Structure 1
């Protein structure tokens, strides 16, 4: 009886799944640490210009709605018409911060949001507590 000798198994392909797993883990690590890196850490000395204008924009506009439904535009009490008039005078790129009391009516919040939407303000932040 002649015995057939088994040929050793040839590997024509490389298993890349472990390699992909390692690369995905590294990618996740890079992306999570990259969000904590402070922007602008490279020191740059900016050139000077003689004919420059400085924009006088406030950092942010604060709108408050208290538990009684009273609205305040940067600590000045306003009604909805006055609020709309004041918001229409500021730049659309200006940051608006809305602080609404948790006991206030939802309708007051919706009213302020409706005014901001109508005036096409896009830089809106709503402040909440953790």
Structure 2
């Protein structure tokens, strides 16, 4: 009888590669929704709300815009009052607008505790 001085790991590597391929294929099908999954029900569930992103802008003439429509700051305040606090807001401010107008808008957003803000900019070249 012959003594084995080494352990042959090639069959083990082959099995692991096949197992890895199966896991990756299954994960792909699940993430794309191809495999149908019936989720269980529960009495205490939180619904994930899909909050619409709100765009607020100030143009070069210092005119305020809410969702691409021109409004006064007071009209925008009335609209902001009705929004949930987690609503994502994108600010599009012209670079030549006076800082005071920007400050008014930020103050208005803080009044209604709308802190999920992004400021749209252009990438430097």
Q: Would the aligned equivalents of 1:67 and 1:101 in 2 still touch at CA under 8 Å? A: yes
What root-mean-square deviation, in Å, do the aligned CA atoms of Structure 1 and Structure 2 show?
Answer: 3.0
Q: 1:101 aligns with which of 83, 94, 103?
A: 94
TM-score (normalizing by structure 2): 0.61
The answer to whether the aligner puts 1:43 opposite 2:30 as a matched pair is yes
Structure 1 position 58, deviation (Å): 3.8
Within 5 Å, which residues of 2 pair with 1:22-41? none
Q: 2:121 aligns with which of 106, 125, 128?
A: 128
Summarize deviations over 1:48-84 as a string: whole Å, max 9, x none. 65x9996664430000110100001101111111111
Summarize deviations over 1:102-122 as a string: whole Å, max 9, x none. 111111111110000111111
Change (3 A) 1:129 1:43: same
Paired positions, count: 91
Q: 1:88 aligns with which of 72, 76, 81?
A: 81
Residue 30 of structure 2 aligns to a residue whose secondary structure is coil
Q: Would the aligned equivalents of 1:62 and 1:98 in 2 still touch at CA under 8 Å? A: yes
Segments of structure 1 that go 5 or more residues without pairing to the other structure are 1-39
Change (3 A) 1:80 1:41: farther
Higher Cα radius of gyration: 1
TM-score (normalizing by structure 1): 0.59
Segments of structure 2 that go 5 or more residues without pairing to the other structure are 1-26, 32-36
Q: Would the aligned equivalents of 1:61 and 1:96 in 2 still touch at CA under 8 Å? A: yes
